[in-house]
Structure 1
Amino acid sequence: MRKLYIFIIPLFSLVLIITTSCKKFTDKAGATALEQTTEERELTFDSTFVNTFFQKHPLLDKYQNEVNELYQKHQFHYIWYDKNGVNEFGSLLHNKIINIEEEGVLTSIPYRQKLDSIYESPSSGQKPNPTTELLNTSMYFYYVDKVYQGLDTESTNQMEWFLPREKQTYGKYLDSLLVNPSLIKNKEKGLFYQYYLLKNVLKSYRQIEKNGGWKTVKMDSAVKSLNLGDSTHTIAQLRTRLYLTGELKSDSKSAIYDDQLAKGVLKFKETNRNASSTIILPSHLKVLNIPVSERIKTLVVNMERCRWIAKDITKAKELIAINIPAYQLTYFENGKPTFRSNVVVGKTVNKTVIFSAPMRYIVFSPYWNIPYSIKKNEILPGIKKDPNYLAKHNMEWNDGKVRQKPGPKNSLGLIKFLFPNSNSIYLHDTPSKHLFSRRDRAFSHGCIRIEKPKELAEILLKDDPKWTSEKIDEAMNKGAESWYTLKNKIPVYIGYFTAWVDVDGNLHFYDDIYERDEPLAALLYEK
Structure 2
Amino acid sequence: MRKSIFPFVIIVCGFLFITLSCKNKETIKDALAFGESNASNDFKSIAEITFDSTLVATFFENYPKLKSFKPDVIALYKKQQYHYIWFDQKGINEVGNLLYDKISNLDQEGIQTTIPYKNKLDDLFQDSSEEQKPKVESELLISSLYFFYAEKVFKGLDPKKSEELGWYLPRKKQSYVNYLDSIIINPSLINKDEKEVLGQYYRLREILEKYRSIEKKGGWDSIALDPKLKSYKPGDSSPTIAQIRTRLFITGDLLSDSKKNIYDPELEKGVLKYKKRNAFSPDYTITPRHIATMNVPLSARIKTIIVNMERCRWISTDISKAKELIIINVPAYQLTYFKDNKPVLISKVVVGKALNKTTIFSADMRYIVFSPYWNVPKSILKKEILPAIAKNPNYLAEHEMEWHEGRVRQRPGPKNSLGLVKFLFPNSNSIYLHDTPSKNLFEQEKRAFSHGCIRVAKPKELANMILKEDKNWTPEKIEAAMNKGEESWYTLKNKIPVYIGYFTAWVNHDGEINFYEDVYERDERLAAMLLED
Fold match by TM threshold 0.5 = yes
Residues 251, 320 of structure 1: alpha-carbon distance in 2 compared, 3 angstrom cutoff: same
Residues 500, 177 of structure 1: alpha-carbon distance in 2 compared, 3 angstrom cutoff: closer
Find the aligned partners of 1:320 and 1:392 in 2 and give their Cα distance: 36
Find the aligned partners of 1:504 and 1:516 in 2 and give their Cα distance: 27
Shift of 1:320: 0.5
Q: Is the 8 A contact 1:345 1:352 kept in 2?
A: yes
1:507 aligns with 2:513: yes
Equivalent position of 1:420 in the other structure: 426
Residues 501, 183 of structure 1: alpha-carbon distance in 2 compared, 3 angstrom cutoff: closer
Residues 264, 181 of structure 1: alpha-carbon distance in 2 compared, 3 angstrom cutoff: closer
Q: Is the 8 A contact 1:118 1:125 kept in 2?
A: no
CA offsets per residue over residues 390-446 of structure 1, 9 Å max, x none? 212111111111111111111101110000000000000111111111111111000
CA offsets per residue over residues 200-254 of structure 1, 9 Å max, x none? 0000101111222110111222222222233322122111111111001111222
1:363 aligns with 2:369: yes
Residues 298, 182 of structure 1: alpha-carbon distance in 2 compared, 3 angstrom cutoff: closer
Equivalent position of 1:487 in the other structure: 493
Shift of 1:188: 4.9
Shift of 1:110: 1.0
1:80 aligns with 2:86: yes
1:246 aligns with 2:233: no
User: Which of 1 and 2 has higher RCO (CA within 8 Å, sep 6+)?
Assistant: 1
Equivalent position of 1:196 in the other structure: 202
Tell me the secondary structure at the aligned position of residue 216 of structure 1.
Answer: coil
Equivalent position of 1:11 in the other structure: none
1:323 aligns with 2:321: no
Equivalent position of 1:7 in the other structure: none
Shift of 1:160: 0.6
Equivalent residues, number = 491
Residues 187, 66 of structure 1: alpha-carbon distance in 2 compared, 3 angstrom cutoff: closer
1:401 aligns with 2:407: yes
Match of 1:342 among 343, 348, 351: 348
Shift of 1:47: 1.2
Residues 179, 459 of structure 1: alpha-carbon distance in 2 compared, 3 angstrom cutoff: closer
Structure 2: gaps spanning 5 or more residues:
1-41
1:70 aligns with 2:73: no
Match of 2:461 among 448, 455, 458: 455
Letter in 1 for 2:498: V
Superposition misfits of 4+ residues, deviation over 6 angstroms: 179-184
Letter in 2 for 1:294: A
Find the aligned partners of 2:97 and 2:77 in 1 and give their Cα distance: 20
Q: Is the 8 A contact 2:194 2:317 kept in 1?
A: no
Shift of 1:39: 5.9
Match of 1:212 among 205, 218, 223: 218
Counting only pairs closer than 5 Å after superposition, residues 177-188 of structure 1 correspond to structure 2 as: 178=184, 188=194
Shift of 1:302: 0.4
1:390 aligns with 2:396: yes
CA offsets per residue over residues 341-384 of structure 1, 9 Å max, x none? 11100011000000000000000110111111011111111222
1:468 aligns with 2:444: no
Identity over the aligned pairs, expressed in percent?
61
Find the aligned partners of 1:339 and 1:354 in 2 and give their Cα distance: 21
Shift of 1:513: 0.5
Q: Is the 8 A contact 2:374 2:416 kept in 1?
A: yes
Letter in 1 for 2:317: K
Find the aligned partners of 2:102 and 2:57 in 1 and give their Cα distance: 26
Shift of 1:183: 9.9
Shift of 1:274: 1.4
Q: Is the 8 A contact 2:372 2:487 kept in 1?
A: yes
Residues 64, 436 of structure 1: alpha-carbon distance in 2 compared, 3 angstrom cutoff: same
Find the aligned partners of 2:484 and 2:530 in 1 and give their Cα distance: 53
Equivalent position of 1:279 in the other structure: 285
Q: Is the 8 A contact 1:428 1:453 kept in 2?
A: yes
Q: Is the 8 A contact 2:369 2:487 kept in 1?
A: yes
Shift of 1:182: 12
Letter in 2 for 1:54: F
Find the aligned partners of 1:42 and 1:138 in 2 and give their Cα distance: 21
Match of 2:53 among 34, 47, 51: 47
Letter in 1 for 2:99: L
Find the aligned partners of 1:347 and 1:127 in 2 and give their Cα distance: 62
